[in-house]
Amino acid sequence: MPFGLLKYGLSNEYPAQHHFTPATELKKHYDVVIIGAGGHGTAIAYNLAKYHGITNVAVLEKSYLGGGNTARNTAVIRSNYLTEEGVSFYRESVKLYNNLSNEFNYNVMMENRGQLTLAHSDAAVRSFRWRAEVNQHMGVRSELVDRQTIADLVPNLNMSEDSRFPIMAGLWHADGATARHDAVAWGYAKGACERGVELHQLTEVEDVEIDKGRVTALKTNRGRVECGAVVQAVAGASSVVAKKAGIPLPIHCYPLQAMVTQPYKPILTPHVSSPHVHVYVHQTSRGEFVIGGGSDPYPLYHTRATLDQRESLSAAAMELFPFLAQARMLRQWAGTTDMTPDYSPIMGLSPVENYYLDAGWGTWGFKATPICGVTMAELVATKKVPEIIKPFALERFYNYEQINEAGATAASH
Amino acid sequence: MKLLTCPLNGQRNISEFTYGGEYHPMPDPNSTDSRQWAEHVFFHDNAAGVVTEWWCHTASSFWFLAERNTITDQVIRTFEASEIFNQRIDFAENQQ
């Protein structure tokens, strides 16, 4: 390997690597059509092709690869949730993430920097103790830490007891990590396309043809495609697309806003989150501070950035890291989050027999990408719902069996 | 600053208001099974376009309805709940 690198370094030519060859014509029929070429859609295609030998697959994308919420999330990977169902699901995802670069032979810039959630109230300390116990029981590294440990972990954090909401304790999650979100989608798309999957960008699904409870074809802006099965993986547009198949979903779309500062020298290692002051902060490997977690107070499909959110995110970030008062903002943006009533995803079967749902990804979609690819591909290939995603079925809302993760999400709602 | 017009208090900063969910007529309690209740309580149209929804002016606890476009974020109109709820609903007669 070092010689290959040396040779490349001394070469005069640096041929651009194409991640995938864009498909040209839509075929008449595919065994599986996946709607949405974000991280999830491409991960499902990748797993279908690599591990189940199903390669007559098309991924249809109305815009471009990884251009939706895959590009807009803040790239947080963690598994310190509250319910057994949630923890065991996200735990498997973190494990897969740790091996993802090897899996692809492509660098997704995985960085295991840990994640710290701050408690500013007795109630939060109690819930952190609960979460730590559940997490440890499920084999996730997660522990309640005191103020001294927090000060050691994050030396720049404002530990003053005179602040508006003094920090009382923290939930330290050593398994917490970050990765390059674009690279995750690119890696999956590259691996899928190398195995025969077709990626069709600028291809929007306009209607879903259903006959006797089965989907038979999709109408797109580029023509009609017959299909053996359909998976929808369209975070931010789940309700709109599912409605075309006649499936109602328990989702409300809220924009979630984030912003990023000018680059600084590396001074913050872990990801720091405070549900109480409604902000989370981490420093990227480029040095920029990502400040996120501001949800708009009412549903909207627009991804505009607002001054209101910039004010509240800035105020909260400055309370945690006072030096950020000097920072200049480079960008501010929003992504559309599909919020479910219990803050857990909707995965698996739908009322339409061969139409599979990968929806309701609110603010927890990026971290679930690899496990989603594995489990949804297994479902499509075997038609059996994998144990690990059974609790996340759409049917749970009809059976009043919600999985409450409201307290374990970092973003404010 | 985004403004919302409260039918009682006039035009106010939207930060004074609380969003209260989509407006759906309540199903008849006498003929609704648990599946239909689940649909009424948890499921949403979540339409991309003009929706009718509940809002509350938090400071005065005044609930009203609004028609809003969820793509453009424009409020088309706000109106008092009495426009829709113009008849008394007597829950007592539904008790068994």
* Domain identity same for A361 and A371: yes
Is A127:A135 a contact under the CB 8 Å cutoff? no
How does the average pLDDT of chain A come out, rounded? 95
The residue-averaged pLDDT of A346-350 equals: 98
> Which residues of chain B are within 8 Å of residue A304 when distances are taken between CB atoms?
73
Say if residue A413's pLDDT is above 60. no
A233 in a structural domain: yes
Contact B46 A302 (CB under 8 A): no
A398 in a structural domain: yes
* Domain identity same for A233 and A286: no
Of A134, A410, A80, A94, residue with least CA distance to A272: A410
The residue-averaged pLDDT of A245-262 equals: 96
* Domain identity same for A331 and A353: no
CATH number (domain holding residue A116): 3.30.9.10
- Which residue of chain A comes nearest to B55, CA vs CA? A298
The pTM of the full predicted model, rounded to 2 decimals, is: 0.94
**CA atoms of A254 and B46, how far apart (whole Å):** 10
* Domain identity same for A291 and A155: yes
CATH number (domain holding residue A54): 3.50.50.60
pLDDT in tens, A207-222: 999 999 999 999 999 9
The residue-averaged pLDDT of A326-336 equals: 95
Contact B38 A397 (CB under 8 A): yes
**CA atoms of B72 and B11, how far apart (whole Å):** 19
- The dihedral built from the CA positions of residue A3, A5, A8 and A10, taken in this order, carries a sign that is negative
* Domain identity same for A166 and A263: yes
State the total domains in chain A.
2
Helix (H) or strand (E) holding B34: helix B34-42
Token readout for A290 is: 């990502």
Say if residue B95's pLDDT is above 80. no
* Domain identity same for A369 and A231: yes
- Which residue of chain A comes nearest to B48, CA vs CA? A301
The residue-averaged pLDDT of A156-175 equals: 96
User: What's CA A20's distance to the chain center, in Å?
Assistant: 22
> Which residues of chain A are within 8 Å of residue B18 when distances are taken between CB atoms?
297
Q: Using CB atoms within 10 Å of the CB of residue A334, give its burial: 0 to 12 exposed, 13 to 18 middle, 19+ buried.
A: buried
Of A179, A183, A190, residue with least CA distance to A59: A190
The residue-averaged pLDDT of A355-383 equals: 97
A240 in a structural domain: yes
Contact A299 B70 (CB under 8 A): yes
**CA atoms of A30 and A229, how far apart (whole Å):** 8
Is A33:A44 a contact under the CB 8 Å cutoff? no
**CA atoms of A388 and A88, how far apart (whole Å):** 8
- At position A387, the amino acid (one-letter code) is E
**CA atoms of B92 and A112, how far apart (whole Å):** 60
The pLDDT of residue A411 is 60
Render A335-392 in DSSP notation, one character per residue: EEEEE-TTS--EEE--SSTTEEEEE--TTTSGGGHHHHHHHHHHHHHHSS--GGGGGG
The pLDDT of residue A409 is 77
pLDDT in tens, A122-136: 999 999 999 999 999
Say if residue B96's pLDDT is above 60. no
Contact A249 B44 (CB under 8 A): yes
The pLDDT of residue A4 is 81
Say if residue B93's pLDDT is above 80. no
Ramachandran class of A349: left when φ > 0, alpha when ψ lies in -120 to 50, beta otherwise: beta
Kindly provide the b/e burial profile for residues A255-271, where b requires at least 16 CB atoms within 10 angstroms of the residue's own CB.
bbbbbbbeebeeebebb
Is A177:A111 a contact under the CB 8 Å cutoff? yes
Domain ranges, residue A61: 27-73+182-250+342-408
> Which residues of chain B are within 8 Å of residue A250 when distances are taken between CB atoms?
42-44
* Domain identity same for A61 and A47: yes
ipTM, two decimals, is 0.92
* Domain identity same for A331 and A195: no
The pLDDT of residue A407 is 80
A265 in a structural domain: yes
**CA atoms of A141 and A173, how far apart (whole Å):** 6
**CA atoms of B66 and B6, how far apart (whole Å):** 9
Kindly provide the b/e burial profile for residues A114-141, where b requires at least 16 CB atoms within 10 angstroms of the residue's own CB.
bbbbbbbeeebbebbeebbebbeebebb
Helix (H) or strand (E) holding A224: strand A223-232
**Pairing outcome for strands A29-35 and A76-77:** unpaired
- Which residue of chain B comes nearest to A401, CA vs CA? B38
* Domain identity same for A163 and A273: yes
The pLDDT of residue A412 is 53
Kindly provide the b/e burial profile for residues A65-94, where b requires at least 16 CB atoms within 10 angstroms of the residue's own CB.
bbbbbbbbbbbbbbbbbbbebbbbbbbbbb
* Domain identity same for A232 and A121: no
Render A112-166 in DSSP notation, one character per residue: ---EEEEE-SHHHHHHHHHHHHHHHHTT---EEE-HHHHHHH-TTS---TTSSS-
Contact B42 A253 (CB under 8 A): no
Helices A369-382, A84-98: inter-axial angle, 10-degree rounding: 100
Contact B48 A301 (CB under 8 A): yes
Is A124:A281 a contact under the CB 8 Å cutoff? no
- β-bridge partners, B67: B52, B77
Length of chain A (residues): 413
The pLDDT of residue A6 is 87
A2 in a structural domain: no
The pLDDT of residue A7 is 85
Facing A300 at nearest CB: one of B38, B39, B70: B70
pLDDT in tens, A191-206: 999 999 999 999 999 9
Is A83:A404 a contact under the CB 8 Å cutoff? yes
The residue-averaged pLDDT of A389-410 equals: 92
pLDDT in tens, A21-63: 877 899 999 999 999 999 999 999 999 999 999 999 999 999 9
Of A340, A301, A338, residue with least CA distance to B51: A301
Helix (H) or strand (E) holding A205: strand A205-211
- β-bridge partners, A359: A346
The pLDDT of residue A8 is 82
- At position A26, the amino acid (one-letter code) is L
Say if residue A1's pLDDT is above 80. no
The residue-averaged pLDDT of B65-84 equals: 96
**Among A240, A301, A400, which would you mutate to test the B interface (most chain B Cβ atoms within 10 Å of its Cβ)?**
A301
Instruction: Out of A339, A368, A385, pick the residue that ends a domain.
Output: A339
Say if residue A297's pLDDT is above 60. yes
Contact B73 A300 (CB under 8 A): yes
- Which residue of chain B comes nearest to A238, CA vs CA? B46
Domains in chain B with CATH codes: 1-23+44-82 (3.30.2270.10)
A15 in a structural domain: no
Instruction: Out of A303, A319, A339, pick the residue that ends a domain.
Output: A339
**CA atoms of A172 and A131, how far apart (whole Å):** 11
* Domain identity same for A256 and A171: yes
pLDDT in tens, A78-105: 999 999 999 999 999 999 999 999 999 9
* Domain identity same for A404 and A256: no
Instruction: Out of A339, A360, A383, pick the residue that ends a domain.
Output: A339
The residue-averaged pLDDT of B87-96 equals: 68
pLDDT band at A401 (very low <50, low <70, confident <90, very high): very high
A365 in a structural domain: yes
pLDDT band at A335 (very low <50, low <70, confident <90, very high): very high
